[in-house]
Amino acid sequence: MKCADPILSGSLLCCWWRYGVAVGEIAFDEARARARHAAGAAVVLVRRDAETDDIAALEAATGLLTQRGASTSHAAVVARQLSKVCLVGCTALRLDEAQRTLQLGDVVMHEGEEVTLEGNDGAIYRGAVRRVVEPLGDLCARLARLRAP
């Protein structure tokens, strides 16, 4: 991912991630995730912990961000099975469920705002970050030469 500075990034902030990119509106519960998904919106589910009851919400989401958890946690296992981008164990994440906000460092975001989870390096971006794919150029040319008869 390029073109923006992450709010947070790296494995020191999130203990496990699944590769890929998830972009969507922040949703704190199943009702919001399912309603926004049914309306055609992409959703990122944000929870303190992901529980068994969150599976339906996770199915509707493009990604999952949790404050607690580990690579063997229920959230990580279910996300892997559903092929969802998942950042778990993000200890810098603070949730205020009464205000429907999350805080990452100095950045406060509200439910419904867009967020980007970059599962390839564990970064979190405010908003929908445009993905720029850089061509491999020289590497692809070298590989083509090696594969040629």
**What is the pLDDT, as a whole number, of residue 16?**
55
Task: Show me where the domains of the chain are located.
Answer: 16-147
CA-wise closest residue to 124 among 87, 81, 95, 80? 87
pTM (two decimals): 0.80
pLDDT at 129: 87
- Identify the sign of the CA torsion 112, 8, 95, 18: positive
Q: What is the DSSP letter of 129?
A: P
- CA-to-CA distance for 71 and 30, rounded, in angstroms? 22
- pLDDT, residue 134, reads 63
CA of 107: how far to CAs of 3, 34, 85, 95, 101, in Å?
Answer: 18, 26, 21, 12, 10
- Per residue in 75-122, pLDDT (tens digit) is 778 888 888 898 888 888 999 989 999 998 889 999 999 999 988 788
**Segment 15-42 mean pLDDT:** 89
Phi, psi of 7 (to 5 degrees): -70, -50
Residue 20 has pLDDT above 60, yes or no: yes
Q: What pLDDT, on a 0 to 100 scale, did the predictor assign at position 42?
A: 97
Query: Per-residue confidence at 144, pLDDT binned at 50, 70, 90?
Result: confident
Percent of all residues in the chain with a pLDDT value above 70, rounded to a whole number: 83
Superfamily of domain 16-147 in CATH is Phosphohistidine domain (3.50.30.10)
